[in-house]
Amino acid sequence: MSSIVIPSLQPHLRFPSSQETPQRSRSRVGFVSIRPIYATDGVSSSSSSSLQVPQRIVSPPEPTKLPLRKVPGDYGPPMFGALKDRHDYFYNQGREEYLKSRMLRYESTVYRTNMPPGPFITSDSRVVVLLDGKSFPVLFDHSKVEKKDLFTGTYMPVTELTGGYRVLSYIDPSEPDHAKLKQLIFFLLKHRRDKIMPEFHSTFSELFETLEKDLAAAGRAEYNASGEQAAFNFLARSLFGADPVDSKLGRDAPKLIAKWVLFQLGPVLSLGLPKVVEELLLRTVRLPPALIKADYRRLYDFFYKSSEAVFEEADRLGISREEACHNLLFTTCFNSFGGMKIFFPNMIKWIGRAGVNLHTRLAREIRTAVKANGGKITMGAMEQMPLMKSVVYEALRIEPPVPVQYGRAKKDLVVESHDAAFEIKEGEVICGYQPFATRDPKIFDRADELVPDRFTGEGEELLKHVIWSNGPETQSPSVQNKQCAGKDFIVFISRLLVVELFLRYDSFDIEASNTPLGAAVTVSAAVTVTSLKKASF
């Protein structure tokens, strides 16, 4: 197995922080321009004053002569319209057919409808839906939209589920707490960055060994449960220097997190239960937070005991250690672990289905680059893998891990689709469904297919339309926007997974189906590995 160089005395791995907007350097492979994950020679101050930078604002579209059209669609009778639409969304049609059927009915990618959960979890389920790649970016323009309390949709989970605090994901950049809490998350992502590569290698090597043993014993190996355990172990070991297996958490974290997330997202989840049961259990009243108080406390205690270095930064930023811990838990368990739980099996699914030809190309590219860098996985080696990088971006494009984004119009504004312009009034809630935007056939050729080389060469220009992170891939997170603080972290570890996979195996076969949990929020693949062909060249 190839060894790993830890980038500690060499250039440090940097994940975007609010201290600066780095100059985007570009590596060259022949005439192919590759956008890297950055490296820097030093660690800058963690003080709040050093973390302020001018933010590059997403510019509004240039004025056009598109016809101004009234937003089509309606909400139906009060309450009953929302209930009918909820039944269509969950039971009669399913999410994508629900959205697509109305798009065809109104002959528009912008229209009015209701989005769940509706009565009685929320009093107002009315939204303006955006379903194309041109209109969607208005949700990133914080001069036009507000994200306060809209992270999960038209409702917000009770704060008892997060220690009584509104955590960062629900706070708009205009609110005073946003900057300091996001600065804290940036610090979390960078203060142990030299541990990320070795801990990923160690943890996922354990995962591959488990899959190999299961495959040898049963002829099949279920990825998801083992993958979720590996994901949490990696995050805990790399970011907090703590091994959950050696703590009171043991191996319970993934199931504790799943229960906790259910209490937050239950109103917009489908569990595959009979309609009457789901309506009564999930969408009539909220699940009582007291039922998972003890489970949440186990997670909280683990993070509290493992976060001393981050707490020292919280002290400097004026954040109480209690509030900091609830935010660290949410960021790690809901955002980072949740992203890995959803995206990793989905990416494996798409690469697995692509077949031996792509696998061979990836293996050859990855092994050649690693060999040219002394047989070690380094940042420089990974920059010499344009196909690998493109495949990761393509997986993020075709099946973004968080498909729905919300915002509330701060003022009257005009939103443009490819065909028309639409007036949206101040206070109206806007809902963008990312998979339709990132599979927009007017932007992407063969939009519903995984095209491995899509983002190589001139195709790199299309990265501005890859918007999985609540912002375009060509923009960096900052304290002044709502783009995912861990955007480049998730991209980087996704690349690491592909690199580790094809250093170890020539090819693999999988079976995949959609898991019932999350069918109404995001599509998560249940992946079964049916063969692993070990590296032969």
| pLDDT single digits (tens) 223-244 | 999 999 999 999 999 999 999 9
Is 101 strand, coil or helix?
Answer: helix
- Which pLDDT value is given to residue 41? 33
- Beta strands at 39-40 and 32-34: parallel, antiparallel or unpaired: unpaired
Q: What is the dihedral of CA 447, 448, 452, 458, to 10 degrees?
A: 0
The DSSP line for 224-283 is HHHHHHHHHHHHHHHHHS--GGGSTTTT-HHHHHHHHHHHHHGGG---S--HHHHHHHHT
Instruction: Say if residue 25's pLDDT is above 70.
Output: no
**How much is the pLDDT for 31?**
30
Residue type, 98: Y
Q: How confident is the model at residue 309 (pLDDT cuts 50, 70, 90)?
A: very high
- Choose the weakest-confidence range: 13-27, 265-279, 316-330: 13-27
Question: CA–CA separation, 327 vs 321, rounded Å?
Answer: 10
The residue among 327, 294, 69, 295 whose CA lies nearest residue 184 is 327
As a three-state string, the secondary structure of 102-121 is HHHHHCCCEEEEECCCCCCC
d(CA 52, CA 375): 39
The pLDDT value given to residue 64: 63
Each residue's pLDDT tens digit, 239-260? 999 999 999 999 999 999 999 9
What is d(CA 1, CA 183) in angstroms, rounded to the nearest whole number? 37
pLDDT in tens, 490-535: 999 999 999 999 999 999 999 998 764 443 444 578 999 999 999 9
Report, as an integer, the average pLDDT of 266-279: 94
Mean pLDDT value across residues 422-441: 98
Q: Which residue has the higher pLDDT, 432 or 13?
A: 432
Q: Is residue 157 reached through a cis peptide bond, with omega within 30 degrees of 0 on the bond before it?
A: no
* Contact between 130 and 136 (Cβ < 8 Å): yes
Q: Strand pairing of 27-29 and 32-34? A: antiparallel
- Per-residue pLDDT, 441: 98
Look at residue 9 and tell me whether its pLDDT is greater than 70. Answer: no
Query: Which H helix or E strand runs over 306?
Result: none
Find the mean pLDDT for residues 138-142: 97
Alpha-carbon distance 392 to 489, whole Å? 13
Res 65: pLDDT: 83
Q: Residue 5: which pLDDT band, with cuts at 50, 70 and 90?
A: very low
Q: Identify whether the C-beta of residue 514 lies closer than 8 Å to the C-beta of residue 525.
A: yes
Q: What is the pLDDT of residue 63?
A: 62
Helical ranges in 165-222 per DSSP H: 176-190, 196-218
CB atoms closer than 10 angstroms to residue 277: 10
3-class DSSP assignment, residue 364: helix
Show the domains of the chain with their CATH numbers.
Answer: 68-534 (1.10.630.10)
Query: What percent of the chain clears pLDDT 70, i.e. is strictly above it?
Result: 86
Strand partners, 114: 126
Residue 123 corresponds to which tokens in the numbers above? 């009093």
CA-based nearest residue to 418, from 145, 96, 107: 107
SS3 per-residue string spanning 433-481: EHHHHHCCCCCCCCCCCCCCCCCCHHHHHHHHHCCCCCCCCCCCCCCCC
DSSP category for residue 73: B
Query: Residue 124 and residue 134: Cα distance in Å, rounded?
Result: 27
Q: Work out the mean pLDDT of the chain and round it to a whole number.
A: 89
pLDDT at residue number 515: 61
Give the number of other CB atoms < 10 A from CB of residue 446.
Answer: 10
How far, in Å, CA of 121 to CA of 267, rounded? 7
- Please give the helix or strand (H or E) that residue 507 lies within, else none: strand 505-514
- Residue 1 pLDDT > 90: no
Beta-carbon count within 10 A of 372 CB: 11
In degrees and rounded to multiples of 5, residue 12 shows phi and psi of -85, 140
Q: Is 484 annotated as a binding residue?
A: yes
Q: Return the SS3 of 4.
A: strand
Whose structure tokens read 């918007």? 467
Cα 370 to Cα 376: distance, rounded to the nearest angstrom: 6
Burial class for 159, CB neighbours closer than 10 Å (0-12, 13-18, 19+): middle
Q: What is d(CA 225, CA 207) in angstroms, rounded to the nearest whole number?
A: 10
Largest Cα–Cα distance of the chain, in whole Å? 68
pLDDT tens digits, one per residue of 442-478: 999 999 999 999 999 999 999 999 999 999 999 999 9
Residue 36: pLDDT over 70: no
Two structure tokens written together for 348 = 């494996």
- Give residue-wise pLDDT tens across range 113-130: 999 999 999 999 999 999
